[in-house]
C-alpha cells in the first residue's frame, strides 16, 4: 500500500513507544528494531525517530523541531546523514520517489524487474552501499541514521552484511529497522538490536484518527482489518482535480481568493492531505529561498520562483508552523473546507504583508 509519507508521521498512538525510544537513545542504543503487526505505522515511527536524531534543535520529549535545516532535509528524506534502505516496492519512501504530484504525469519508473513487479527484496548491494555513508564523518556534525525496512526483506547475504556493521557499529550511528515478521529476520541480527514492540493502538485513539482521514464508518473499517488503522485507510489520496485546484490557488499568490477556492472544495476533502500538499509547497518555497531548487511542484516552478522572492523566510516559517499545528489538530476540525480556507487566508495575508514590506 502506498502512502504519502507525511501521513505516517507523528501518529497519535505512538506516544508510549516514543518514551521507550527516548530511553533507548539515552542509553546510546546503536540499533533499534521496531516490530509488530502491519498497519500500525512502524515506518512512520522510524522516520519520526530519524528526524528527532537528526534535528539540530530538538523540542520537548526529544522530538524533532520541524523547522531547523536538519528537519527540513529529513522531511524531504535527503538529509546527507540519513539513508533509507527499502525494497523497490517501497520506493515511495525513498527521496527520489516522493513526488506524489508528479505521479499522474510520469510514466512508470524503470525500477521494476523483468517480471513487471517491483522487487520485494533488499539486496546485498543495497546494504553495501551504506559503507560509503559509514566511512565518512557526518556531514552536519551529528548522528548518522540508517532506516532499513522491512528487515525481513533482506536476502541472506544482505542480512549478513548488515550483521557485520551491527557487530562493529560505527560511532555516532543509529540503525532503525522495522519488521512485521520477526520470525523471518536473521536471529543474529535481532540479537544485535534493541527491540521495541509496536502493537495495535487502542480504538479510542485509532477511530478519531481514521475519521479525520476520511473513513466514514471507522469502527467497522477498523474491525475488518483486525485493528491496524493504516490498513483501514482508503487507498486514494487527494483527487487529481482537487490537487490542481489547490496548486493553482497557491500559485496565484497575493491574488488568491481563499473563499472562492474553499467553496470549490469537496465537502469531504481530507484536511491532513491538503496540509501535506501545502507543506510541500512551503518546502519548495523555502528551498528556493535558500538557493535550492523546486522538488515537488515542477509544473509550477515559475510561480514558485516568483513567490519565493515575495515571501520573507520568517513569514514562510510562520506559515509552516501554522500548517504543522493545523495538522496536529486536523482530526478535530469540524468543517474541512473552512479549515483549508483559513490556511489559505493566512497564506495570502502573509504574502501581502511581505509584499508591502518590499514595496516600502
Distance of alpha carbon 278 from alpha carbon 106, whole angstroms = 21
In whole angstroms, the minimum distance from the beta carbon of 325 to Zn ion comes to 16
For 70, half-sphere exposure in the C-beta direction (CA atoms, 13 angstrom radius) is 25
Point out which span in 64-72, 108-116, 184-192, 228-236 binds Zn ion (CB under 5 A): 64-72
Shortest separation between residue 289's beta carbon and Zn ion, angstroms: 17
Binding of Zn ion at residue 317 (CB under 5 A)? no
**In terms of residues, how long is the chain?**
360
Residue 55 interacts with Zn ion (CB under 5 A): yes or no: yes
55 vs 343, beta carbon nearer Zn ion:
55
Stretch binding Zn ion (CB under 5 A), from 58-66, 299-307, 328-336, 344-352? 58-66
Q: Does 68 bind Zn ion (CB under 5 A)?
A: yes
Q: Nearer to Zn ion by C-beta: 134 or 317?
A: 317
**Which residue, 68 or 190, is less far from Zn ion as judged by CB?**
68
Where in the chain does DSSP place strands (E)?
31-35, 82-85, 144-148, 173-179, 194-197
Residues 253-289 as b/e (b if ≥16 CB within 10 A, e otherwise) read bbebebeebbeebeeebbbbbbbbbbbbbbbbbbbbb
Q: Between 71 and 174, name the residue whose CB sits nearer to Zn ion.
A: 71
Which of 29, 38, 65, 342: binder of Zn ion (CB under 5 A)? 65
CA 87 – CA 114 distance, rounded (Å): 15
Q: Is 190 in the site for Zn ion (CB under 5 A)?
A: no
Task: Answer yes or no whether residue 71 interacts with Zn ion by CB under 5 A.
Answer: yes
- By beta-carbon proximity to Zn ion, the closer residue of 35 and 79 is 79
Stretch that binds Zn ion, among 51-59, 113-121, 266-274, 330-338 (CB under 5 A): 51-59
- Dihedral sign (CA 108, 114, 117, 119): negative
Helix runs in 168-289, H state only:
187-191, 203-212, 218-224, 240-251, 258-264, 271-289
The nearer residue to Zn ion, 65 or 342, going by C-beta atoms, is 65
Stretch touching Zn ion by CB under 5 A, among 15-23, 68-76, 165-173, 203-211: 68-76
Residues binding Zn ion: what is the number (CB under 5 A)? 5
- Report if residue 7 touches Zn ion, rule: CB under 5 A: no
Mapped onto helix, strand or coil, the DSSP state of residue 351 is: helix
Contact call for residue 47 and Zn ion (CB under 5 A): no
Closest to Zn ion by CB, 71 or 148: 71
Cell numbers for 242? 482537487
Per CB under 5 A, does 73 bind Zn ion? Answer: no
Give the nearest distance from C-beta 258 to Zn ion in angstroms.
29
The span from the first CA to the last CA of the chain, in angstroms, equals 51
Q: Which residue lies nearer to Zn ion by CB, 57 or 263?
A: 57
CA distances from 203 to 43, 69, 208, 210, 211 (A): 20, 36, 8, 10, 12
Binding site for Zn ion (CB under 5 A): 55, 64-65, 68, 71
Amino acid at each position: 500500500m502506498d502512502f504519502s509519507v507525511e501521513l505516517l508521521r507523528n501518529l497519535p498512538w505512538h506516544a508510549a513507544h516514543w518514551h521507550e525510544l527516548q530511553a533507548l537513545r539515552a542509553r546510546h542504543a546503536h540499533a533499534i528494531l521496531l516490530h509488530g503487526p502491519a498497519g500500525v505505522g512502524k515506518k512512520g515511527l522510524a522516520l519520526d525517530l530519524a528526524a528527532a536524531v537528526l534535528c539540530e534543535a530538538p523540542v520537548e520529549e526529544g522530538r524533532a523541531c520541524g523547522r531547523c535545516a536538519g528537519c527540513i532535509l529529513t522531511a524531504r528524506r535527503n538529509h546527507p546523514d540519513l539513508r533509507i534502505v527499502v525494497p523497490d516496492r517501497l520506493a515511495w519512501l525513498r527521496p527520489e520517489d516522493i513526488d506524489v504530484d508528479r505521479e499522474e504525469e510520469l510514466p512508470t519508473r524503470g525500477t521494476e524487474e523483468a517480471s513487471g513487479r517491483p522487487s520485494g527484496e533488499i539486496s546485498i548491494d543495497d546494504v553495501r552501499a551504506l559503507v560509503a555513508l559509514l566511512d565518512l564523518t557526518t556531514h552536519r556534525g551529528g548522528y548518522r541514521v540508517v532506516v532499513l525496512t522491512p528487515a525481513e526483506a533482506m536476502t541472506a547475504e544482505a542480512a549478513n552484511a548488515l550483521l557485520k556493521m551491527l557487530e562493529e557499529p560505527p560511532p555516532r550511528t543509529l540503525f532503525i529497522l522495522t519488521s512485521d515478521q520477526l520470525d523471518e529476520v536473521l536471529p543474529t541480527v535481532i540479537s544485535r538490536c534493541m527491540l521495541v514492540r509496536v502493537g495495535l493502538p487502542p480504538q479510542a485513539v485509532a477511530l478519531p484518527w481514521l475519521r479525520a482521514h476520511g473513513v466514514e464508518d471507522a469502527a467497522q473499517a477498523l474491525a475488518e482489518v483486525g485493528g491496524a488503522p493504516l490498513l483501514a485507510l482508503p487507498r486514494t489520496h487527494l483527487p487529481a482535480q482537487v490537487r490542481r485546484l489547490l496548486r493553482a490557488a497557491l500559485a496565484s499568490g497575493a491574488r488568491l481568493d481563499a473563499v472562492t477556492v474553499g467553496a470549490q472544495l469537496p465537502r469531504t476533502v481530507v484536511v491532513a492531505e491538503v496540509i501535506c500538499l501545502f507543506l510541500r509547497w512551503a518546502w519548495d518555497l523555502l528551498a528556493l529561498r535558500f538557493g535550492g531548487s523546486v522538488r515537488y511542484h515542477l509544473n509550477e516552478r515559475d510561480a514558485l520562483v516568483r513567490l519565493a522572492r515575495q515571501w520573507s523566510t520568517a513569514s514562510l516559517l510562520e506559515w509552516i508552523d501554522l500548517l504543522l499545528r493545523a495538522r496536529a489538530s486536523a482530526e478535530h476540525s469540524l468543517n474541512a473546507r473552512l479549515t483549508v480556507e483559513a490556511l489559505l487566508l493566512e497564506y495570502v495575508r502573509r504574502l501581502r504583508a511581505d509584499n508591502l514590506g518590499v514595496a516600502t
